[in-house]
Structure 1
Amino acid sequence: MATIKFFLQSKKENAQIHVRVSVSREIVIRKSTGFVINSQQWSDKTGLPKQTGAENKSLRNSLNKLQTHLYEVLNDDLAKGVLINGNWLESQINACFNRIDKVDNNIFVNYIQYMIDNASTKETRGGKIGLSEGTIKNYRSFKKIIEEYEQYSKTKILFREINKSFTEKFKTWLLNERRYTVNYSGKQFEFIKTVCLDAQKNDIDVTVHSTTLQPFRQQDKDRYIHTLSLDELLQIYNTEMPTKHLKNVQKWILIGCFIGQRGGDLLSITPENIRENAKGLYIDVIQQKTGKNVTIGVMQDYVLDILKNDFPEPVSLNKINYHIGKVCEIAKINQKVEGYITNSETNQTELILLPKYNFITSHSFRRSFATNFYKIMPTPVIMGITGHSQENIFLKYINQRQDKDANADLFMSFFEKMNSNNEPQLKVVKRAQ
């Protein structure tokens, strides 16, 4: 049975009061309670202050309160398999008295906040300064998830404790307790690794496991990617929408599926981004995530008409995603397809067969563009527009296997075209004697 005792380590006038929690012979942890007392006022027999005055009585009540709190949470956490260590004990002392932890960047969540606070001066790839708003938003979401896990596990996460045991428990919590998707859970592992690598650069001790952590994702055979085909886009265009809001979303859907940009980049476009030259209409975009300058040529007649004569009103990405299913439902994009949804009653992710309009979101725009023009146009051209830097990542994005013959076919086509442009030449052939 666990025991909790208070003790002094000195005979000074202002001696620190410590607490010792003995869980077993192997697990004995000690921490300062944050209280001090004149050692002459301490009873070694009771392990508590002597009852000689109001101040000592108040102190004794505080220690009794802490002892009761520790017994309660200790039994509960032992049953849950929570790691009982010095960090756990310090957190429980602070929780008992509603104390605010001092800022210590050895604590994982504190360092995430440090990265957020210093986002404007953070150096990124390519020597650029400052994190994008999207990246900062992702770090805030990640910090919230870590804080929720700390509440669940009732412990503060330290860099030196991010080992295989921790990541396995964290993965189980993400997938089984929170019911996050495999891909979203795997993304949190990417953040763990990124934060730990950054902390290492600032001379914070981190584990080798945390800096070599491998993210995980859904297997290709289990992925369900939903896109709008060229025929379905024409179907959407030819459908009259009953309200102004739905008509506005309809226009953004059509533009989005023909310019291949992320949702935030799409909705930042204004008529000032559009220009015309002898070859047609171009849209110039600076991609928020990559910082790349991208120019997209638009050829589809009904999208050209929207851009030139009926440019959509500004709208938030949340509004797009709220109305997009209704637009597609009205346009009868109702082919039955498989996909994952979150059951609102059980909060579990389920694979289910539903009409396609249930699965179309703003994420479908860029994927639709890439999927519709894959193999129609050279892959590097499409990647230059979508902003993908590696072909293997691009192919995973549209759930396509690499075509080993594609480059050979392309070379042969160009070679045939090159030879067809050469005029035949007469050669003099000597007769054999």
Structure 2
Amino acid sequence: MKYRCFIDDNTIHTHNVLIQFFTNFEDKPINLRLPFNILKKDWNKTLQHPTDRYKKKHRSLIDLINDLRITYSQFSDTIPPQKMKKALLKLVENRHKTNVQNNTFLFFLQRYIQIKKKELCISTIKRYNVFLKLIKLFEGSECKRFKILEINNKIIQKFISFCISEQYSQSTITRSVLFFKTILNFCSSLGMKTKNYEIKCPRFKIKTKAIITLNEEEIKKIEAKEVPQNLYSAKQWLLISCYTGQRFSDFMNFSSSNFVDIQNEKCIQFVQKKTGKNIVLPLHPFVLKILNENNGLFPPKLDLVNYNLQIKRIAQLSGINTNVFCNKRKHFRCFYAEFPKWKALSSHIGRRSFATNFYGKIPTTLLMLATGHSTEQMFNKYVNLYCNEKIIELSEHFNGNVKDKVYVNS
């Protein structure tokens, strides 16, 4: 299929997007002016699409271009140019409507997401929606809407190659292949034939993933540092997260109404948003100290974006400047590079620090009760086993010079 997608250089500020299909019936191409404008700097002339096609503002344009290419590729050999143009124009007019053939993989993927919306947690639904967008891009690159029986190992290998060329991470690719299998299992449960048995999950060489944590000395630095008033709530929440080991979605919803007393020990009871697990967590003396400073209440709530920005600033002010290697996002992909540790902080730092700093001091089974992990294998993914403090501690054991350390400054 021959086509050309370009922008109208005759306009001054923003430019109309045009698409041109070259037919097999006659020399005159089918020309369409799409109802989208784009800045010249945002258009990649060579690749014939927006420079960053993962931006939200370009998503509708990308979807329409892919739909037009797929439709043209499917019918161009059998439909005359005039009828083809009418069909494409109708597709442009109805671009806001979801109109996918009911025997396609995309149709059943959308149906599965709709059915499971209330059953699966929000983060899982978000991942399925990412998968949905990825399928649309893949089908656009292949100029084909895949039917259920066409999904076999050959197509999966093409999909994996496409993902690698688009610089998707190994974890995203593996998860996506598993999602393929899930949707095909869903189709099988509806009585449809599939080739799910052919599909094999990719095996990548395991890369060591950097786990960034705050050690005991760094937490004490943050505790001792006086910060501006506008950062004080974030500082308290950061310390609370380091002593409770919970996700942002859980600890930011802590309130005095969750308090329970168990044999005169003050605890907090809540249901984890991600897993739905009922957690009863005894409060660490340092958390009780923060509550006392706030008249028995937790600090004012913060949204995720501001919290992440503010804890970076707090760590910077506290002198958390050790260089670490970690993944940082640039545009739509992550890259691995060296940064000062304060730049690597995000809302999950407290959960990882809790798991790492208490590991080996409190039985793992008890720590897992606090974090809500179902298996020790999953728990260990949160533990930084290579932190310098533990290496020095091992050296002290070798030299018979072991000093007791207490992870509290109450």
1:190 and 2:172 aligned = no
Alignment of 1:126-141 (within 5 A): 130-141=119-130
Residue 119 (structure 1) aligned to one of 92, 101, 116: 116
2:341 is equivalent to residue 356 of structure 1 = yes
Counterpart in 2 of 1:372? 357
Q: How many residues are aligned here?
A: 316
Contact 1:341 1:350 in 2 (8 A): yes
| CA apart distance, 1:247 | 1.9
Gaps of 5+ in 1: 4-61, 71-75, 122-129, 402-433
Aligned CA distance change for structure 1 residues 181 and 369 (closer, same or farther; 3 Å): same
What's 1:237 paired with?
223
Alignment partner, residue 152 of structure 2: 163
Q: Provide the residue aligned with 2:164 in structure 1.
A: 175
Go from structure 1 to structure 2 and tell me whether the alpha carbon gap of 1:153 and 1:324 turns closer, same or farther (over 3 Å shift).
farther
Greater Rg over alpha carbons, structure: 1
Amino acid at match of 2:271: I
Are the structure 2 counterparts of residues 273 and 381 from structure 1 closer, same or farther at C-alpha, using a change threshold of 3 Å?
A: same
Q: Distance in 1 between matches of 2:28 and 2:153?
A: 32
**Structure 1 residue 206 corresponds to structure 2 residue 191:** no
Aligned partner of residue 224 in structure 1, secondary structure: coil
Distance 1:144 1:322 in 2: 28
Provide the rounded CA distance (Å) in 2 between the counterparts of 1:225 and 1:268. Answer: 25
Give the SS at the match of 1:198. helix
- CA distance in structure 1 between the partners assigned to 2:75 and 2:318 by the alignment: 55
Aligned to 1:425: none
Cα pair 2:244 2:284 within 8 Å, conserved = no
Residue 288 of structure 1 corresponds to 273
Q: Take 1:314 and 1:348, find their aligned partners in 2: how far apart are those partners?
A: 30
Q: Equivalent residue for 2:378? A: 393
What amino acid sits opposite 1:235 in the alignment? K
- Percent identity over the alignment is 28
Q: CA deviation at 1:343?
A: 4.2
Cα 1:213–1:262 shift into 2, 3 Å: farther
Note if contact 1:187-1:216 (Cα within 8 Å) is conserved in structure 2. Answer: no
1:208-267 deviation digits (Å, cap 9, x = unpaired): 257x543667725x21110112221221121122241x2222222111121122221222
User: Equivalent residue of 2:309, what SS?
Assistant: helix
AA aligned opposite 1:229: N
Distance 1:103 1:203, change over 3 A: farther
Task: Give the drift of 1:395.
Answer: 1.9
Match runs of 1:296-375 below 5 Å: 296-301=281-286, 303-310=287-294, 311-344=298-331, 349-375=334-360
CA deviation after TM superposition for structure 1 residue 384, in Å: 1.8
String of CA shifts for 1:286-309, please: whole Å, max 9, x gaps: 1122211111112232x2222344
User: What is the SS of the residue equivalent to 1:353?
Assistant: strand
AA matched with 1:165: K
CA–CA distance in structure 1, aligned partners of residues 222 and 99 of structure 2: 56
Which amino acid in 2 is paired with 1:237? E
Give the conservation status (yes or no) of the 8 Å contact 1:66–1:96.
no
Q: Which runs of no fewer than 5 residues in structure 2 stay unpaired? A: 3-22, 32-46, 49-65, 77-83, 387-410
Q: Assess if the C-alpha contact under 8 Å between 1:183 and 1:216 holds in 2.
A: no
Instruction: Give the equivalent residue in structure 1 for 2:132.
Output: 143
> Partner letter of residue 321 of structure 2?
N
Residue in structure 2 matched with residue 109 of structure 1 by the alignment: 106
Change (3 A) 1:389 1:154: same
Measure the CA separation in 1 of the matches of 2:263 and 2:27: 79
Deviations 1:314-358 (A, max 9, x none): 2222332233322211121111111222445xx664332221112
Match of residue 252 from structure 2 = 267
Q: Is contact 2:185-2:196 (8 Å) kept?
A: no
Higher normalized contact order (CA 8 Å, seq sep 6+, divided by chain length): 2
Classify 1:367/1:88 alpha carbon distance in 2 versus 1 (closer, same or farther; 3 Å): farther
Q: Alpha-carbon deviation of 1:278?
A: 4.4
Correspondence 1:152 to 2:156: no
Gap change, CA 1:116 and 1:360, over 3 Å in 2: same
Could you tell me which residue of structure 1 aligns to residue 406 of structure 2?
none
**What is the distance in 2 between the residues matched to 1:395 and 1:306?**
29
Which residue in the other structure is 1:382 paired with? 367
TM-score by length of 1: 0.63
TM-superposition CA deviations, 1:171-212 (whole Å, max 9, x none): 2333332x33332333323322322222221223322257x5
Distance 1:203 1:386 in 2: 40
CA deviations over 1:368-406 (Å, ceiling 9, x no partner): 1111111111111111222221222222342659xxxxx
Whether contact under 8 Å (2:131, 2:176) holds in the other structure is yes
Cα RMSD (Å) of the superposition? 3.6
Q: SS of 1:118's equivalent?
A: helix
Equivalent residue of 2:214, what SS?
coil
Deviations 1:51-83 (A, max 9, x none): xxxxxxxxxxx996999459xxxxx99xxxx9x
- Amino acid in structure 1 at the alignment position of 2:368: M
Change in Cα spacing, 1:205 to 1:64, as seen in structure 2 (3 Å) is same
Q: Distance in 2 between matches of 1:390 and 1:266?
A: 22
Cα distance in 2 between the residues matched to 1:263 and 1:91: 50
